[in-house]
Chains A and B, each alone.
Chain A
Amino acid sequence: MFQLETAENPQTLRRIAIDPLTRIEGHGKVTLLLDDAGRIHQVRLHNVEFRGFEVFIEGRPFWEVPVTVQRLCGICPVSHHLAAVKAMDIIAGYGPLPPTAEKLRRLMHYGQVLQSHALNFFHLASPDLLLGFDSDLTRRNIVGLVQDFPEIAKQGVLLRKYGQEVIRHTSGKRIHGTGAIPGGMNKALTAAERDELRRDIDQMIEWTLAAVHMVAALHRTKPEFYNHFGEFDSSMMGLVDERGALDFYHGGLRALDKDGATIFDHVDYSTYESVLEEEAKSWSYMKFPHIRALGPEKGWYKVGPLARVQTCDFIPTPLADLERKKMVALGAGKPLMGTLFFHWARLIEALHAAEVIRDLLDDPDILGTDLMADQGERKGEAVGVIEAPRGTLFHHYRVDENDQVSFCNLIVSTTNNNQAMNEAIRSVARTYLDGRELTEGLLNHIEVAIRAYDPCLSCATHALGQMPLQVDLVDCEGKLVARNWHNMRPAE
């Protein structure tokens, strides 16, 4: 049993719910059970939506799946699209992709990592970091950010836009395109599209590098706080290529323990069930995966940016690798476990994504037209794995002789982080909430920890609409004409 997961006598305790969680992807809530003295006995992150994609794609034709399953999400659809199509490449019997097809898929994917990371940091998380965890609730959002830090907000918006343009040019649409098909790609990149993307990429690299430096500078202002906020020991997992380098598109599974020692390495992801196991709990629609050899109590792990930059041996682009070394050095040989390091790692990855996009755009292969692999013998079962922005994403399918899906298992990135997120909010609850009178600002500490993981709790139904909002209509001389409120009590 995990600490603070289940209280002994819940019926005697007071319940506080943070519902809905805001500035995250999808819908979720946190419940806290406290006694009369304000001591915390139970903390749970609940995923309150049920998706069911695994069931309702059963019976569908396999070539439809990469397009259908990306509707799981509006932020990282490319990850689901590509994880599914990697499995369907094998099911349909295709061999290795031509260089152009693989590079186009990589371009699409790294564009998505860039836009998703920009969305999480600039739009969702940075209001906490730049305006303050307990700053004015009505301004602790993207609008407040635009008011106080217009240049940073602009860069965030344009970085996201750039990533979405990369996706559009490779898949036909900014969200939910169809670029990858079993065996390759359906669309070549034109010289005009390449030139358009190439024109702005150096600016994107400059902005992501500046964002990394901004988070590093924030860290230096309160190193103790940043080091230990939501800190807890855990294992970590991610994909690495054959050299041990960070690779978002393809590689082998590597897991390290809390001290950085190897649990498994270069595991062929088609055998993921030999190293991972999933467990269900009655109070959440999200499953709890764990490393099979360590069991459910000790085998849970982190995925995503903070895990990836520490499980890899290096990042294969120079600027991002340099920034990675600077961050990792703070751990003095031990992996960093503070939850807020996720933001630093995420921006290093955004920088890496921008560097990779530049390199791919400069590669002559990217304008090739050989988009389909040679086809061989059909297979009945396959696994596709990719590093989605939020972490390792598994798609596992079986397809019958009539081309219909007969089995599907998805372990999405946020599911991998389920126990870790629960541990993060329990750590924050112990440190900042236990025994105190709970204010909105203190409760926001819980949400800050969750936002650091950038969870996509079910899909991309943004909760931005639930944020407290005050709208003032002023005339050209700055005089207040009208004021209205939403989701808040107006100030006296």
Chain B
Amino acid sequence: MNDYDRFVLDGRPVHFERGQSILEAALASGAYIPNLCHHPEFKPHGSCKLCTVKVNGRFGSACTIKAMPGQEVASDTPELNGIRRVLLQMLFVEGNHFCPGCERSGNCNLQALAYDLEMLTPHYQHFFPARELDASHPDVMLDFNRCIMCELCVRASRDFDGKNVFALAGRGTASHVVVNCPSGKLGDTDFALSDKAASVCPVGAILHKRVGFAVPIGERRYDLAPISAQVPTQQAEEA
């Protein structure tokens, strides 16, 4: 490692390969930067803003800024973690995230981040939006109450599965994920349980049917260690 292939993250040098984003290089080195819409197999999206860092004093998304020598990157700071908590609080109140009854509890990135960043309350008034379930598919259920619009399913179906089953519709607070077919029902598409898009959701919006709660409390992913301590595992699994 020399000065030309490393940047500084929270005071520590991080090695990077040419073309890597700050987030990719950090995760590869075992350093955690909070994120929700990132996936190593898909193009950076930059929508969730959880990976917001300060690069040489300026805010930016670690998933979209390329790593470069000489960068001084701040991530794990009270200021940035406070901003991330606010983003999480807004995500929690914008949807209907009722962890106590959710089968992704313990395996959910949103919940794990909220724990890790010590989000103690939702703070903001809940929207309590009225959102329907789509259980029309025999093997997969869509619970739009929990969608955070990270578009991982959109990218996976389009770029990996080649099916283009999902899309984002609406604008502003009316934005929502839709199913690309005349009826709008997942059961009327060629979506399959084996699709990448069926297993890429970081929250509890895309669920495999009839297997919920099969893993006991104590053995779920984030029962074992906080999300920030699972960087190598996360990288390996997502790849």
Seen from chain A, the residues whose Cβ lies within 8 Å of a Cβ on chain B are 59-61, 63-64, 66-68, 71, 92, 171-173, 176-179, 181-182, 186-187, 402-404
Given contact pairs A61-B141, A64-B101, A402 touches B213 in the complex (Cβ within 8 A): no
A63 proximity list for chain B (CB < 8 A):
103, 209-213
Known: A66-B213, A177-B217, A403-B141. 11 other contacts (CB 8 A): A60-B101, A61-B133, A61-B141, A63-B211, A64-B212, A67-B101, A92-B210, A171-B217, A178-B217, A181-B214, A402-B136
| Any A CB within 8 A of the CB of B100 | yes
In the complex, what residue of chain A is closest to B137 when comparing beta carbons? A402
How far, in Å, is A104 (CB) from chain B's closest CB? 11
Encode contact with A along B192-234: 1 for CB under 8 Å, 0 otherwise: 0000000000000001011111111110000000000000000
> Across the interface, do A61 and B217 meet the contact criterion of CB distance under 8 Å?
no
A-B contact pairs, 30 of them (CB 8 A): A59-B132, A59-B133, A60-B133, A61-B133, A61-B207, A63-B209, A63-B210, A63-B211, A63-B212, A64-B213, A66-B213, A67-B213, A68-B100, A71-B100, A92-B210, A172-B218, A173-B217, A178-B216, A179-B216, A181-B213, A181-B214, A182-B210, A186-B213, A186-B214, A187-B216, A403-B135, A403-B209, A403-B210, A404-B133, A404-B135
A186, B135: Cβ atoms under 8 Å? no
B71-116 at interface with A (beta carbon < 8 Å):
100-103
Residue of B whose beta carbon sits closest to that of A61: B141
Summed over the interface, the residue pairs from A and B with CB atoms below 8 Å come to a total of 61
List residues of chain B with CB under 8 Å of any chain A CB: 100-103, 132-133, 135-136, 141, 207, 209-218
- What residue in chain B is nearest A170 (Cβ atoms)? B216
Closest 8 interchain pairs by CB?
Answer: A172-B217, A187-B216, A68-B101, A402-B135, A186-B216, A178-B213, A63-B212, A404-B135
A64 surroundings in chain B (CB, below 8 A): 101-103, 212-213
Residues of B within 8 A of A68 (CB): 100-101
Bound: A68/B96 CA distance, A: 14
A68-B101, A71-B100 known; A61 vs B213 contact (CB < 8 Å): no
Q: Whole-angstrom distance from the CB of A460 to the nearest CB of chain B?
A: 13
Q: In the complex, what's the smallest C-beta–C-beta distance from B21 to chain A, in angstroms?
A: 37
Among A66, A92, A173, A181, residue most surrounded by chain B Cβ atoms (within 10 Å) = A181
Q: For the complex, what is the distance from the CA of A181 to the CA of B213, rounded to whole Å?
A: 7
Q: Which residues of A contact B210 (CB under 8 A)?
A: 63, 92, 182, 403
B128 CB to closest chain A CB, in angstroms? 12
CB distance from A192 to the nearest CB of B (A): 13
| Chain B residues with CB below 8 A from A178, complex form | 213, 216-217
- What's the least CB distance linking A69 to chain B, in Å? 9
Bound CA–CA A71/B135 (angstroms) = 24
Please measure, in the bound complex, the distance between the C-alpha atom of A66 and the C-alpha atom of B212, giving whole angstroms.
Answer: 11
Smallest beta-carbon distance B105→chain A, Å:
9
State the CA gap A172–B213 with chains docked (Å): 11
- Chain A residues contacting B207 (CB-CB under 8 Å) are 61
**Given A71-B100, A71-B101: A186 and B215 interface contact (C-beta under 8 Å):** yes
Minimum distance in angstroms from B197 CB to a CB of chain A? 19
Residues of A within 8 A of B212 (CB): 61, 63-64, 181
Write out the residue numbers on chain A whose beta carbons fall within 8 Å of the beta carbon of B101: 60, 64, 67-68, 71
Bound complex: CA of A402 vs CA of B143, how far in Å?
Answer: 13
Q: Which residue of A lies closest to B134 (CB)?
A: A402
Q: Complex: how many Å from CA A64 to CA B133?
A: 13
